[in-house]
Structure 1
Amino acid sequence: MDFTFRNETTTEELYAIAKAAYKGSPWSKQTFANDLKSKFARYMIIEADGEPIGFVGGTHLGEELEITNVAIVPGVQGQHLGERLLRQWLVGFDAGTRILLEVRQGNKRAIKLYERLGFIIYNIREDYYRDPKEDAYLMDVTLPLAAE
């Protein structure tokens, strides 16, 4: 497969990827639409052979970037594409930028990915998620990322 990356996207594209990746998008189309209107929103799409297969999104304010979504469609999950996407996206931000995210405590694959990139757990939000009820790990790293 040939992988490419781009920053341009649409509400429909983000929603479709998220809906497939999460078996029901955690964000509505309207939430994505509102986010895309923000001057602080940053997105990157990963494509395989010209077809969008995932995205990462976040809010960039000053020297902090909060990752709000990382999604890879089911057919290509488990191939380290999320890591490739994150590494590609994050080179566009300055060294010293603090990257923040939250992740379900039970999402072991995502936690391992973030730890490979150098993220550490700095706090826990108890009972943060619903359906099912679960804690959120708050993780952060300061750029540059850990080497591959």
Structure 2
Amino acid sequence: MKKYLLIAAAVAALSLPLSAGVFAEPAPGEHHHHQFSAEDHAAFTDAKIAALKAGLKLTPAQEKNWPAVEASLRDIAKARAARFAEAKDKMKEVREHRSVIEGLQWRSKALAAKAAETEKLAEAAKPLFDSLDDAQKRRFAVLLHTIAKGPHHGHEWGGPHEGPEHD
């Protein structure tokens, strides 16, 4: 029973926003009931990373590969928070003055940064993943996907929430 409670708690924690965008605050211009502070984001980052680790139930031998994964996840959270802050500053400009081309350029830059972050995470996570048993690998995939998708998952650029404010 305790095992199921821990997994349920991990999934619940992972459903919270991690940071801006493995990570995200509501985008400028979106109207949400709650605005998260930097302290809130740090707390959610800590909770999601702890939930991932707890859900994996690492052995002492596997523990040695965890610090690289955690550091990579924290780096991603910081980088996405910086991109969000940049987007928030850009949104202070009048929306009509931003061209479609500027939006495409910003989006391209954000996607390239995400690709680089994802590659670094894959490199950091490979030794740990290779040491996991089949059950841990399944949990790793589910828990990491829950972290990575963020609250804006599924919003395609060009839809109702388009533009650089969405990382």
TM-score (norm. length: structure 1): 0.28
* The structure with more strand, counted as a fraction of residues: 1
* The structure with more helix, counted as a fraction of residues: 2
TM-score (norm. length: structure 2): 0.26
Higher relative contact order (Cα pairs below 8 Å, separated by 6+ residues)? 2
Who wins on radius of gyration, i.e. which is larger?
Answer: 2
